[in-house]
Amino acid sequence: MTHNPIIVRTLTELRGQIWQWRGGGESIGLVPTMGALHDGHLSLIRLSHKYASKTVASIFVNPAQFAPGEDFEAYPRTEAADVAALASARCDLVYIPDTHSMYDEGHSTSIKITGVAQSLETDHRPTFFDGVALVVAKLLNRVAPDFTIFGEKDYQQLATIRRLVIDLDMPVKIIGAPIARDAHGLALSSRNRYFDEGALTLARKLNVIMFDCAAKMGAGMNVDAAAAQAKQDFLDAGFESVDYVAVASAHSLTPLSGGVLDRTSRLLVALHCRGVRLIDNCEI
């Protein structure tokens, strides 16, 4: 049976509904998204149902996290399909603010986040996590959920948001969700829709090489040598460039020191596939 979500676009409407639910004793889960939804997002909605009695999804393509030259203008905007997908996953409310409502002309506040947000992605997208932290803080303040759910595909983003809510004393529990993959192991991403068949075939080699590298590291191969080999394997497979193949502690994201794995080591990869930047990660 279809479960049509309530759609709200203004903060007043949003707060009215949240207050009504709170008055009725409901608990609230928030899944922030930029739309262009896929099954990975829907798995976050389904996970939210396990924690909260009402689930809110937000759809907002956040200009603050795109650098000049990135794909802000071209980012897919597919609102009708997104709302239908959210209905199929039994989402209760979809919050779709416009840019002016999030950042009016007087907007003057920024967030500078360091620690887990340094290195890896930040070496290649220096202002990305500051923009993510800002919009996530605003969405958490607006929705005031009990739980908020983020996918582990954006592993450093998840770690950054965990830090953000600790540092700003935000009363919300962060839930990390396992990476959703297609039948070939490709991590689901809104940007996968940029691919034609040839690019998709190449993109699917990312996870194969990454898991192979993690298995070699886990079996005792020197970490630096395994990472260097994976980097070469990516280039030989046809990826145009590799931003990083890195091993870091899963919690602090500090790079592995002395090539020694610990129980929480995580392998993280970012590379370019036919003009699209892809990231992925796995346990070792």
Q: Which of 17, 33, 48, 160 binds ligand PAF (CB under 6 A)?
A: 33
User: What's the chain's length in residues?
Assistant: 284
Minimum CB–partner distance for residue 205 and ligand PAF (Å): 24
Query: According to the binding rule CB under 6 A, does residue 132 interact with ligand PAF?
Result: yes
Both tokens assigned to 266: 């995580």
Q: Which of residues 143-172 bind ligand PAF (CB under 6 A)?
A: 154, 157
Residue among 3, 41, 49, 124 flagged as catalytic: 41
Instruction: Tell me, letter by letter, the H, E, C secondary structure of 75-117.
Output: CCCCHHHHHHHHHHCCCCEEECCCHHHHCCCCCCCCCCCCHHH
A 10 A CB-CB count for 236 gives 10
Q: What's the CA angle centered on 175, arms 122 and 76, to 5 degrees?
A: 55
Confirm if 141 and 269 have CB atoms less than 8 A apart: no
φ, ψ for residue 5, nearest 5 deg: -75, 155
Query: According to the binding rule CB under 6 A, does residue 279 interact with ligand PAF?
Result: no
Both tokens assigned to 224: 């630096």
Q: By CB under 6 A, which span of 26-34, 174-182, 224-232, 249-257 interacts with ligand PAF?
A: 26-34
Quick check: is 41 catalytic?
yes
Q: Which of 14, 18, 21, 32 binds ligand PAF (CB under 6 A)?
A: 32
Minimum CB–partner distance for residue 97 and ligand PAF (Å): 12
- Nearest to ligand PAF of 21, 150 (CB atom): 150
Binding mask 47-86 for ligand PAF (x = CB under 6 A): ---------------x--x---------------------
- Site residue total, ligand PAF (CB under 6 A): 10
Minimum CB–partner distance for residue 156 and ligand PAF (Å): 11
First to last CA, the chain: 41
Query: According to the binding rule CB under 6 A, does residue 43 interact with ligand PAF?
Result: no
Burial track 206-233 (b if 16+ CB lie within 10 A, e otherwise): bbebbeebbebbeeeeebeebbebbbeb
Our measurement of the distance from residue 175's CA atom to the centroid of its chain's CA atoms, rounded to an integer in Å, reads 12
Minimum CB–partner distance for residue 153 and ligand PAF (Å): 8
Minimum CB–partner distance for residue 253 and ligand PAF (Å): 17
Where in the sequence numbering do the catalytic residues fall? 41
| Interface ranges with ligand PAF (CB under 6 A) | 32-34, 62, 65, 132, 135-136, 154, 157
